[in-house]
Amino acid sequence: MSAPLSPRTIGPFTVKAIGLGCMNLSHAYLPRPEPAQAERLLGHALDIGVDFFDTAALYGFGANEELLGRTLMHRRDDFVLASKCVLGGKDGKRGIDGSPQAITATLEDSLRRLNVDHIDLYYLHRLDPNVPIEESVGALVRAVEAGKIGAIGLSEMSATTLRRAHAVHPIAAMQTEYSPWSRNAEVAVLDACGELGVGFVAFSPVARGVLAGGVGPEGVQEGDVRASMPRFHPPHLPHNLQLAAAFGRIAADAGCTMAQLSLGWVLSRRPYVLAIPGTTSTAHLDEDMATLAIDLSAETLAAVDALFTFEAVSGPRYPRAAQAQIDTETWDGEPLE
C-alpha cells in the first residue's frame, strides 16, 4: 500500500505525508518543554527531513512563532512554513477577529516573529461569524499579491464555507482535526477537498495522544486544554480508554505502534491527506516519521474502521464554548454538550 504514503501536494508545494504540528511546544498541552528542549526537537525534525512545520499566531500568543523564527530560519529553503490568523490573543485572552484590518495586522506580526518576509501557507484559523468569509479571504488575496504569503488555507471550516472561499481565490489547504476517533471530516469536507483540488491537513491525528498511549485513567493535568474536553473525563474517559486498548491490540497484531497505526489509517483515507502530529519528544518524532515506511494491510485498516465507528467514542469533541467557534460539520446524532 504505497500510495497513501506518497508525497502530498498542498497548493504549489510538495511535502512528505507527515509534517510537524508545533502547537504543544508552546501552547495548550502540559507539561510544556523548556525552550532548549523545544529547540532541540525542531532541529532534530529538520535533520531527519521533516519538511512541513505548522504554527499559528495563537500558540503561546506569539511565542511559538518566535520559537520557530529563532530556530529554523537558517535552513529556510528546507521546509514549507505554515501559520494562521483570525484566532489570536489579546491581554492573555483568546479571541476571534476575521476583519481584513485584523488579518493584515496579524500577518505583519507573524512575519516579524517568524523572522521572515514570506509565509508559504497562511490559514484563517477559524471562521469569524461576524465577517463574511469572502472579506477575510480577500485580505489574504491582497497578501498573496503583495508577496507576503504563498497560498491560502482554512481551518475547522465546513464544506459550504470552503466552496465560498474557493470561489474568491483557490484554497490550498483545509486543516481539521482528523483521526479514528474524530471522523467529522468524512461528513463532507474530505470529499469537497478532493473535488476542488484542496489538500487536507489533519491535526491531532493520534487523537490528542489517546491513540498513542499517552493518556491513562487519571486523564490529563489541570491547565492542559484537554482537561476542558468531555472525552477526557468520566464517564467518557474509561469507555474511550477501553477503545484505545482494543486499538493497541490491532497495532500489536500489525507489528507497529499505536501512533503509527493511527497515522497510517489517517493517511490511507485519501491521497491528498497530510498529517501533522505534535510532540515534545525526539523519540516520538522518529516513531511518527517511521510510519512513512510502514505497509498496513487492508485487513488492519478495516479493523480500525470497525472499532471506531462514528458512534464509538463517548463524549463531545469540544466543550460548548469551543464548539461554538468552529464551522465543521457534525454527524447525525453526535453529542454536542
Number of domains in the chain: 1
What's residue 5's pLDDT? 77
The C-alpha cell 509534517 sits at 19
Flag whether 330 is in a domain.
Answer: no
Flag whether 99 is in a domain.
Answer: yes
Q: Are 230 and 236 in contact (CB under 8 A)?
A: yes
What's residue 315's pLDDT? 96
pLDDT, tens digit (0-9, with 9 covering 90-100), for 84-138: 999 987 666 789 999 999 999 999 999 999 999 999 999 999 999 999 999 999 9
Flag whether 333 is in a domain.
Answer: no
What's residue 93's pLDDT? 74
pLDDT, tens digit (0-9, with 9 covering 90-100), for 33-72: 999 999 999 999 999 999 999 999 999 999 999 999 999 9
**Low-confidence residues of the chain, pLDDT below 70?**
1-4, 90-92
- Verdict on whether the full-model pTM lies above 0.85: yes
Q: Are 1 and 298 in contact (CB under 8 A)?
A: yes
Flag whether 335 is in a domain.
Answer: no
In angstroms, the CA 27 to CA 62 distance is 10
CATH number for the domain spanning 133: value is: 3.20.20.100
Chain-centre distance for alpha carbon 154: 11
Flag whether 334 is in a domain.
Answer: no
Q: Print the domain residue range for 192.
A: 3-323
Whole-number average pLDDT of the chain: 96
Flag whether 337 is in a domain.
Answer: no
Flag whether 329 is in a domain.
Answer: no
What's residue 88's pLDDT? 87
Flag whether 252 is in a domain.
Answer: yes
Q: Which residues are catalytic?
A: 59
Closest by alpha carbon to 81, among 10, 155, 139?
Answer: 10
What's residue 4's pLDDT? 45
